[in-house]
Structure 1
Amino acid sequence: MLPLTLHRLDLVSDADASDCLTRVEPRDGVLTATDLSATRGDGIFETVVVVDGIPQALGPHLDRFERSAAMLDLPAPRRELWMRAVTEAAAALHEHTSRGAVKFVMSRGDEAAPAAPTGWALGFAPDSRTGTRAPEVDVVLLDRGYRHDVAQTSPWLLQGAKTLSYAVNMAALREARRRGAQDVIFTSIDGFVLEGPNSTVIARIDGDYVTPPTDLGLLPGTTQADAFTALEGWGESVATRRIEVADLRRADAVWLCSSTRGVAPVRSLDGTALAVDIPLSDRLNDALDARKA
């Protein structure tokens, strides 16, 4: 992953959005050593895929960004400013590649000035997918350690917020590699399917395309939502409901959905081979790439 463009945001100024953006060199310093994003992981982020210079599903990503900010008691993001930052980063990115991504981040700020949040948008070329085909992945199930209702019983755990605190997610991916897999689907301690460290789950069970509900403490999946829109347009049955682990194991196809990867078919689950529907996977990724916003 090579960083290509970087825009720094002034989140304190009340000036026009164009006056609050500064394009800087990607390898130049942007944060202080005491920024809370680095010292505490205290902040939020989103990643938007960019196809031919167009940020995909930017509106839903901004919606989720605002939701995460509220959950962390961060200032409400100035939507027009963040939209301008992403679109400018995407335009600059298009000078280098036809397919890329923009990660935009809000930190609570510097420990010495906690009332002044910091923000930036980074354009980069992800290595998670080439062309129209998403990679097939081997997946393991890992217990997240919480009941399915943790978002209601313990909201301070911030389940369902997209925060910078990714140590557990990265540890889970390392555990997957130790087990000979590439990715993870988290489960609750009481046997329900949740999400991946950086993905949303879709399973085809008894002819229905199913994804778990966000009230299980999950991130609303922007890619999954657009995949469901495409499936409904093709006359397929989609549903958002709880999925028990036993039902996932008997699914006739499973996918992991994320912005940079698209819809990635799961070819094995805990070492057991799953059927891979390549034609549908390719069709879904073509539909995702054809989005105009």
Structure 2
Amino acid sequence: MAWIFALTIDPVAADSADADFADTFAVIDPAAPALSVGELSTQRGDGIFESIGVVDGHAQEVTAHLERLAHSARICDLPAPHLGQWRQAVEMAAAASGPGESVIKLILSRGVEHGPAPTAWVTVATASDFTAVRRDGIRVVTLDRGYALDVPARAPWLLLGAKTLSYAVNMAAIREAKRRGADDAIFTTSDGFVLEAPTASLILRRGDTFVTPAPNGGILHGTTQLSLFAHLEQRGYATAYETVPVADLSTADAAWLVSSVRLAAPITAVDRAAMPVDAELTASINEYLLSPRD
């Protein structure tokens, strides 16, 4: 991954009537130091983010990502972002991205400790080459997330369902998956239900129906999953949100992990048990996900 571009944002109120926010942006050297040592994003992971896939200069699903950024801000008691301001920042970042695949990251932090305002910035970097993963698939293991399915409703202060900067657990899960000989993980609840992957949504196929775990379990509602479901419905397939028992993983006709940058990675094995793979459908899905989407 190579850094291409970065800018800082001086956030304005969500209800601001301004239409041009150019004077609230400052383009910076992405390789140079930019944050204060008192910044709470680095000290405590106290902030939120979004990762937007970019294909040949076109930022994908921008509206869905901005709406999720605002959703995460509400959950975390952060100031509501002005979506018009952030959209302009995304447009500047996309224009700097160049050909091929890259990733834009939006970051909104609570700011400097005891400071007066949040900190916000946007970066662009080249994306890793996921060609082989999209074609050949990934092996996954199931890992207990450590809470029951009803915990998000009982304990909203855990911020489950927000895309926070606190990703240490997610990265630890991927390292554990690799220690077990797999490529990625699927989180499960302690009472036996499927959640999501550390950085992706799960989609299962049962005949002509595509299913993803219902977001009431503290699942981050995936922008790529939403877009793909709309595409599948247009092709005549049925889609559904369900409470999925772990046992249902082994009975699916096919399964994928989907995310904004890696796109659709077919699952070839779950806990060392082989899964069927539909290579033709997977190629068709990724062709769609690489096409311009707003």
Q: Above 0.5 in TM-score?
A: yes
CA RMSD of aligned residues (A): 1.6
| Distance in 2 (alpha carbons) for counterparts of 1:130 and 1:143 | 30
Q: Distance in 2 between matches of 1:49 and 1:157?
A: 28
Question: 1:14-29 counterparts in 2 under 5 A?
Answer: 16-29=20-33
The residue aligned with 1:227 is: 228
Q: Which residue of 2 aligns with 1:100?
A: 102
Shift of 1:98: 2.0
Structure 1 position 132, deviation (Å): 10
Is the counterpart of residue 31 in structure 1 residue 35 in structure 2?
Answer: yes
- 3-state DSSP of counterpart to 2:265: strand
Which one of 76, 81, 93 corresponds to residue 72 of structure 1? Answer: 76
1:265-285: per-residue Cα shift (whole Å, max 9, x none)? 001100111111111111111
**Correspondence for 2:9:** 9
**CA deviation after TM superposition for structure 1 residue 133, in Å:** 3.8
Distance change (3 Å), C-alpha of 1:109 and 1:11:
same
Aligned-pair CA distance for 1:205: 2.4
1:134–1:221 Cα change, 3 Å? farther
Q: Which of 61, 85, 89 is the matching residue for 1:85?
A: 89
SS, match of residue 93 in structure 1: coil
**C-alpha contact (below 8 Å) 1:128/1:260 kept by paired residues:** no
Distance 2:183 2:244 in 1: 22
CA distance in 2, matches of 1:185, 1:150: 18
TM-score with structure 1 setting the length: 0.95
Are the equivalent residues in 2 in contact too, given 1:12–1:116 (CA < 8 A)?
Answer: no
Equivalent residue for 1:186?
187
Unpaired runs of 5+ residues, structure 1, are: none
1:186-205 correspondence runs (5 A):
186-205=187-206
1:112 is displaced (CA, Å) by 3.8
Unpaired stretches in structure 2, ≥5 consecutive residues: none
2:175 alignment counterpart: 174
The equivalent residue for 2:237 is 236
Aligned length: 290
> Do the aligned partners of residues 292 and 247 (structure 1) sit closer, same or farther apart at CA in structure 2, a change above 3 Å counting?
closer
Aligned to 2:117: 116
SS of the equivalent of 1:142 reads: strand
1:252-273 CA distance string (max 9 Å, x none): 2110010001111001100111
Q: CA deviation at 1:150?
A: 1.4
CA distance in 2: counterparts of 1:57 and 1:75, whole angstroms: 23
After TM superposition, the structure 1 stretch with the greater mean CA deviation from structure 2, 134-143 or 173-182, is 134-143
Following superposition, the deviation at residue 196 of structure 1 comes to 0.5
Shift in CA distance, 160/134, structure 1 to aligned 2, threshold 3 Å: farther
Whether the 8 Å CA contact 1:132–1:282 is kept in 2: the answer is: no
Partner Cα separation in structure 2 for residue 282 and residue 240 of structure 1:
23
- 1:247 is displaced (CA, Å) by 0.9
